[in-house]
Structure formats: structure tokens, C-alpha cells
Amino acid sequence: MTLAISTLRIAAPVLLAPMAGITDLPFRRVAARFGAGLVVSEMVASGEMVTARPSVRAKARTDLGIGDGPTSVQLAGRDAAPMAEAARIVTGMGASVIDINMGCPAKQVTGGYSGSALMRDPDHALRLIEAVVGATHLPVTLKCRLGWDSDCLNAPDLALRAQNAGIQMITVHGRTRQQFYKGAADWDAIGRVVRKVTIPVIANGDITDVASARAALAASGAAGVMIGRGAQGAPWRVGQIAHALYGAKAPSVPTGSALAEFVTEHYGAMLSFYGRDLGLRVARKHIGWYCDAARADPGQRRMMMTLSDPAAVEAAIRRAFACEPLGVAA
């Protein structure tokens, strides 16, 4: 099944979700290598993009990975003018798709009336959508939640208005903002959005393996799925689901010494991207997720979380993963 986002064609509609502090460029690159149909950047604050110096914007282009392949850049903000200007900037950088963030539940985002807080004011949300669509020739997509809370389940109505304003695809996380990540994602409720619009709707939330992806599609009738936390420690998971559901090429999942080399490679990419000191800190959570997925020895896991010498960390990675079989979710 091919997913069409305006003129962009995605052979297998299994997408990698944008996750702040997680789906950075090194992670997106490995997920794409393992078969992710489309990767979405971490959230970019429109105000910061607009006020940045040209040198900062140039670095942003590199950090976003524009030019690596089809790249969707997610913008967040609360004011129409900066959102439109940010859209023009990333269009000029060479992005393939622009995504508008109306789904982030984090307090530091919603407290600034961005992210899922915009679902409390659909009229204002629509002004932002119209501003971004009017500022670019690129396809513009939207990511949202079911609503703000159980008394404000307005995703279907917002989706219809967004479609009429020019949005080309909508991804819906099956929870409200007030739920954050508690309880279970309501895939049936995503189906109400699917039935309201004619553009593709992507289901998101609690989709961690092939079985849950199938269940989400069956319950929602969505055109595809977006994988977030299920890819932590398993960047090949998106490709595995794409293979099982849509016949995409099966990713070669590393095990044993190949897994050790892969984790070491990803670790090195993070150090190169962030620099030594910040890279050491950022990499720890990813190493922890790899350890959890591979059921690595807890003692070795603790050691890797505290080592501060990159060479020592790499040696510990090889010891921890070289002989560990990796569980593959089916």
C-alpha cells in the first residue's frame, strides 16, 4: 500500500514519530536505514528558527538532516507569523514535508500555548494551519491528540477544518493531552477522525510491534501507523512492521557481535553529533534501551550508565552485547 502525501509517495506507511530528545539525527538515520517509510524531525520551535542567525540556521539544516532523504520537519509555535516564516525557512532548506505540532503534551510546551494546548482553541489552531499552508509549496501535515481532555474530544472536527485548509495528512495519538501517556491509546476513537476526512490518517500510540500495529489499523481504519516509544532500543522495529504489514524489504536485525558493532556505531554517531561531553549524557538513555531490548546483564548496564570515557564505554558495549541474542517482536 502506497501512502500519498500530495506528490510524495511512501511505499510502506509505517512512520517514525518525532520524539524530543530521542529521535535526533543519528537515530533518524539508523531508523531510515532499517526501513522507516518516513522520519520526522524533533520539534523545532518556530520562534527560535525565525530569530536565529544565518550561521545558526545553517547548522539547523545540517542537524535536521535535510538532504539525507525525504525529511519531514515538525514545527511548533503559538503565533501565525513566526510559524509561517519558519515554514518558509525550512522550505528553502530543502525539507520534503512540514508537520505542525498540535500533539505534544509536555507542560513546558502547552504552558506556552503550543502543542496540544492549541486543541483548546480550534479557531486559533486553524489560523496557524492556514499561515503555514499559505507560506510553502510543500505538503503540510498535522499531528494532534484526540483532544485536550475527555470533555474536549474535538480531533474529528479539527481534522475536517484542517483538511479544508490544505492539510495533506493527519497523525492522531489515541489519547488526550490530560492523559499524557497513561492508560491505553484509544484506536477506535482515531477511527472517528478517519471517517470524518478523506485525507490519510495515521494511527499513533501504543504501537510497539507487528501485532499492535495490526490491531491499531483494524480498530481505526487508518492509512498507516506511526511508531514512537516502540522504536526505543529497536530502531529496526519500524522496518519490521513495514515488512510484515506491507511487504517492504525485511530489515537485517543485528544480533551478537553485529549488535555490538551496531550499538558502538550509533554511540559514535551521537558523540560526533553532540560533541563528547553532551554526547556521553545523551547516549546513556539509548544504551539503556538497547540493554533492555537485548536483556543485557544488569551489572553491565549500570556500569555503562556511569562510565565517562568513550573508549571504556565502547569496550563495555562490546562485552555486553556480543553474546546476547536480541528478542524480535512479531
CA pair distance 189, 146, nearest whole angstrom: 7
pLDDT grade for 69, boundaries at 50, 70 and 90: confident
Give the mean pLDDT of 68-85: 91
pLDDT grade for 242, boundaries at 50, 70 and 90: very high
Q: Is the pLDDT of residue 87 over 50?
A: yes
Hey, which bits of 181-254 come out as E strands?
Answer: 201-204, 224-227
pTM of the model: 0.92
Q: Which residues contact 165 (CB under 8 A, 6 or more apart)?
A: 126, 129, 130, 133
CA pair distance 298, 201, nearest whole angstrom: 40
Tell me what pLDDT residue 143 has.
98
The burial class, CB within 10 Å (0-12 / 13-18 / 19+), for 4 is: middle
In percent, the amount of the chain with pLDDT more than 70 equals 96
pLDDT grade for 56, boundaries at 50, 70 and 90: low
195-208 residue pLDDT tens: 999 999 999 999 99
244-280 residue pLDDT tens: 999 999 999 999 999 999 999 999 999 999 999 999 9
Report domain extents, the chain. Answer: 3-246, 256-321
Q: Is the pLDDT of residue 324 over 60?
A: no
CA pair distance 61, 77, nearest whole angstrom: 19
Tell me what pLDDT residue 326 has.
42
CATH number of 3-246: 3.20.20.70
Q: Is 104 a catalytic residue?
A: yes
Cell triple for 74: 515538525
Tell me what pLDDT residue 325 has.
45
Tell me what pLDDT residue 47 has.
85
Tell me what pLDDT residue 330 has.
45
Looking at every residue in the chain, the average pLDDT score rounds to: 92
More confident residue, 51 or 324: 51
